[in-house]
Amino acid sequence: MIFFSDHSISIKEANQRYRRVFLPFRKEKLLRHFYNRRGIYNYKNVHLEEIFRKAEIFHSFYYPINNEIRKYGNLKKIVTVHDLIPILFPELHFNATLIEKIIESIGEDGYAICVSENTKKDLLNYAPHINPDHVFVNLLAASESLFYVCKDVDKFNSIKEKYNLPEKYFLSVGTLEPRKNVDFVIRNFIRVIKENDIDDLGLVLVGAKGWDYDKIFDEYNNAKELKDKIIITGRVPDEDLASLYSHAHSFYYMSFYEGFGLPPLEAMQCGVATVTSNTSSLPEVVGDAGVMLSPDDDELLYQTMLDLYVNENVREEYAKKGLERSKLFSWKKSSDELVAIYQQIINL
């Protein structure tokens, strides 16, 4: 049962129409599609005790299942597991406690929904007591309203002025922290333009400062007289991203590890040739529609950057392939698959 109180349906109607699942209401894109599919808007939780006793499923999209929920034996309890990065790579993250609690809360009789096959594999390797038949995969997607091929010249001129962008630029999007491997991208970009006397190309880094970002800025400072070729925008508003992506020469996301990896999908959806690491979940997202490299191979990244710069046909081919592959992902598809997973769990 999903219980709602809103202007479009009455409490009585809600009770009659939704008798299977309870979700803590949050406004992620997946849930918005899930609710809208059923004509539900302006939702809020009321009468929880009654709901919990009638529902069949409780799904937490982020937090561990707590003891208050455990007392309801009628509920099949699900948690979403986004990644195990803080546990697997403590040097790349600062806090594994929450992830440990989430996994612990699954127990032997609970259920998990992972955002990629790779995260499912990591979960089952780390917690072999979890029943593999109780672990499902529900892939993420990139918003079609935010990430699209945006060729609006006036908008881009405004964006260029706002962020002081060059006419031609490589783009990287992600939090400035060790896991994203941004210093690796900076180092090879500087080498490419320096060794090949390229003066019409910049590198644009979009993303807020995370933790332990000194190494990134050390690499930036090491560029010395070429520092002006690197633009660090900080976090940018969502409405600027489509134009930033769409007008990029090519996109680089050399992260060491991802639970899913949304920026490469966003880039492909904006029609940009995409280069990523060949690790973790990224092959599931990019497939053969992008260039996939080891995140520590300087020679390969250097050569890839140079090849894409000098070979327009190759760049355009990857842009087309990426745009086509991005059509395999959508929030509607994710929400439909989530409904199917709920049905499987109810029938178990």
| Collapsed DSSP state (helix, strand, coil) of residue 49 | helix
Q: Which of 88, 85, 86, 90 is nearest to 260 (CA)?
A: 85
DSSP state of 209: B
pLDDT digits (tens, 9 = 90+) for 13-60: 333 433 455 555 444 455 555 555 544 444 344 457 788 888 899 999
Output the pLDDT for position 17.
38
| Regions in the chain scoring below 50 on pLDDT | 1-19, 25-28, 38-46
Q: Are 255 and 271 in contact (CB under 8 A)?
A: no
Output the pLDDT for position 15.
38
pLDDT digits (tens, 9 = 90+) for 306-335: 999 999 999 999 999 999 999 999 999 999
Instruction: Tell me the pTM.
Output: 0.87
Cα 225 vs. chain centroid, distance in angstroms?
35
- Locate the DSSP E strands across 220-340: 230-234, 250-253, 274-277, 291-293
CB-based contacts of 175, cutoff 8 Å, min separation 6: 207, 208, 209, 210
Output the pLDDT for position 30.
57
Q: Are 304 and 277 in contact (CB under 8 A)?
A: no
Q: Which of 120, 139, 121, 113 is nearest to 286 (CA)?
A: 139
What are the tokens at 12?
Answer: 């009585």
The residues pairing with 203 across neighbouring beta strands, listed in sequence order, are 170, 230
Q: Are 42 and 6 in contact (CB under 8 A)?
A: yes
